[in-house]
Amino acid sequence: EPEVTQTPSHQVTQMGQEVILRCVPISNHLYFYWYRQILGQKVEFLVSFYNNEISEKSEIFDDQFSVERPDGSNFTLKIRSTKLEDSAMYFCASSAGQGTYNEQFFGPGTRLTVL
Amino acid sequence: GESVGLHLPTLSVQEGDNSIINCAYSNSASDYFIWYKQESGKGPQFIIDIRSNMDKRQGQRVTVLLNKTVKHLSLQIAATQPGDSAVYFCAASAGYSTLTFGKGTMLLVSP
C-alpha cells in the first residue's frame, strides 16, 4: 500500500540553525501539506501546496518557513533559523484531490528538537 | 475562528466494550468532519469522515454521529480491541478551508 514517508525521524538542532525536513508524498498525489504537533497539543495546519506554489498557509507559517518541491518526488519544509518553540512533531500529508473533501494521508512525522 | 475540542482526555474501557469518544466544534459553518487515530510514534490515520448533510455514517466497527444543532460529533467503536488503543481526535473544516484539529482523547483498552 502506498504511503507517505518522512526523513529524518528525529532531528536535533541548535537554536538559530537551519533545518530541512523531507517528505516523499504518495506518487500520484497532487496536493501536499505540512502540519505540526507540539507535544501534548493539537495538530496544527502549517501550509498546503499545489502546482508548485503555496495554496494556503497559517499564521504559524511565517517568513522563517518555506516549502519546496525540488524534484518530482520530494516535498521539503525548511526552517531558516530555528527557535526553541519550533520543537514539535512535523507531519507531511498528501492527497489526490483538492482540499479537505479528499482524504489526506499522513506520514509518520519528524520529531524536531531545538536546543 | 474554529475551535474543536474533546470532552475527555482519557477513556479507559475493557476489551469487547463499546467506546464512545466525543467532540465539540464551534464554527457553525463547518461542513466536513474527520476522525483520526494516532498511535504512538505514528502520524494521524484516517478512520471515518462525515459531511454535514448526514447525521450518521458507519464504517467497519466504527460509527460517526453528527449533531449540527449542538455542534457535536461522536465516534463509536464497537467491540473495542487492544489494538484500538491510541489517541483519537476529530478535525473539522468549512468548505475547502483547512482542517482544524481537536486535542485528542487517549483510548486505553484493557484485555
Q: What pLDDT does residue B8 have?
A: 53
Q: Using a CB–CB cutoff of 8 Å, tell me whether A45 touches chain B.
A: yes
Residues A87 and A77 sit within 8 Å (Cβ to Cβ): no
A/B interface, count of CB pairs below 8 Å: 53
pLDDT over 70, % of chain B: 91
Element (H, E) at A106: strand A105-106
B95: which chain A residues are within 8 Å (Cβ-Cβ)?
Answer: 99
Looking at residues A69-74, what average pLDDT do you find? 88
Task: Tell me phi and psi for residue A78, to 5 degrees.
Answer: -110, 135
pLDDT band at B4 (very low <50, low <70, confident <90, very high): low
Q: In this predicted model, what pLDDT tens digit does every residue of A28-39 receive, in sequence order?
A: 899 999 999 998
Over 90: is that where the pLDDT of B9 sits? no
Over 80: is that where the pLDDT of B105 sits? yes
Q: What pLDDT does residue A4 have?
A: 95
Strand order in the sheet with A19-24: A5-7, A19-24, A75-79, A65-68
The grid coordinates listed for B91 are: 478535525
Residues 6+ apart with CB under 8 A from A59: none
DSSP codes, B65-88: EEETTTTEEEEEESS--GGG-EEE
Bridge partners, B77 (sequence order): B19, B62
Over 50: is that where the pLDDT of B61 sits? yes
Q: What pLDDT does residue B1 have?
A: 45
Q: Using a CB–CB cutoff of 8 Å, tell me whether B41 touches chain A.
A: yes
**DSSP state at residue A16:** T
Looking at residues B42-71, what average pLDDT do you find? 94
Q: What pLDDT does residue A99 have?
A: 59
Looking at residues A20-44, what average pLDDT do you find? 93
pLDDT over 70, % of chain A: 97
Residues 64-83 of B with CB under 8 A from A: none
pLDDT band at B3 (very low <50, low <70, confident <90, very high): low
Residues B55 and B74 sit within 8 Å (Cβ to Cβ): no
Residues 6+ apart with CB under 8 A from B30: B2, B52, B71, B92, B93, B94
